[in-house]
Amino acid sequence: MIVGGRSIRDRQLTMLAAVMTAELIGGLLELALDVDVVVPRTESGYHPLCAVVRRTCFPIVSEQLDADRLAMKDLLPWLRVRVVSESELAALGDPRWLLANVNTPAQHDELEAFLIHEL
């Protein structure tokens, strides 16, 4: 689908590249040294799209998916987990934007306006 002359996929990739900074990725990777999963959690819950998951977890992830347990919270009891609080995440960037949920045109416009301002 084309929106404003660009595909939704291209828009999403551009936004993802802008919010997934080296600082964020590096910070999460540092926390993953002795655990299986590093996942941010805010008052709205876990943010699995911003999680670091070791490859060694793939068999457990596969089992969970085969059993139709699709939520991150169903996977975590089986693994060594490091939860990143919102205040810890703030040291890596503004959590509002690092974990932005873009499901509506208004949310898209808000994030795009922030990114234009920041870049």
- Where do the domains of the chain lie, and which CATH numbers do they carry? 2-101 (3.90.550.10)
Average confidence (pLDDT) over 98-108: 80
State the number of CA atoms in the 13 A half-sphere of 39 facing the CB. Answer: 18
Strand residue runs (E) in 1-119: 2-3, 6-7, 37-42, 45-46, 52-53, 81-84
- Supply the pTM of this predicted model: 0.77
What span, in angstroms and rounded, lies between the C-alpha atoms of 83 and 101? 19
Q: Which residue type occupies 74?
A: D
Do 66 and 43 touch, CB atoms closer than 8 A?
Answer: no
Strand partners, 7: 2
pLDDT tens-digit readout, 1-24? 776 788 877 877 777 777 778 889
Question: Looking at residue 118, what is its pLDDT?
Answer: 67
pLDDT tens-digit readout, 27-82? 999 999 999 999 999 988 898 888 999 999 999 999 999 999 989 888 999 999 99
- What number of other Cβ atoms are within 10 A of residue 98's Cβ? 19
Q: Provide the greatest CA pair distance for the chain.
A: 45
Question: Looking at residue 119, what is its pLDDT?
Answer: 57
Question: Looking at residue 88, what is its pLDDT?
Answer: 94
Strand partners, 53: 37
Res. 117 pLDDT band, cuts 50 70 90: confident
Question: Looking at residue 96, what is its pLDDT?
Answer: 79
pLDDT tens-digit readout, 80-91? 999 999 999 999
Q: Which token pair is 95?
A: 């959590």
Question: Looking at residue 64, what is its pLDDT?
Answer: 93
- At residue 35, the 3 state secondary structure works out as coil
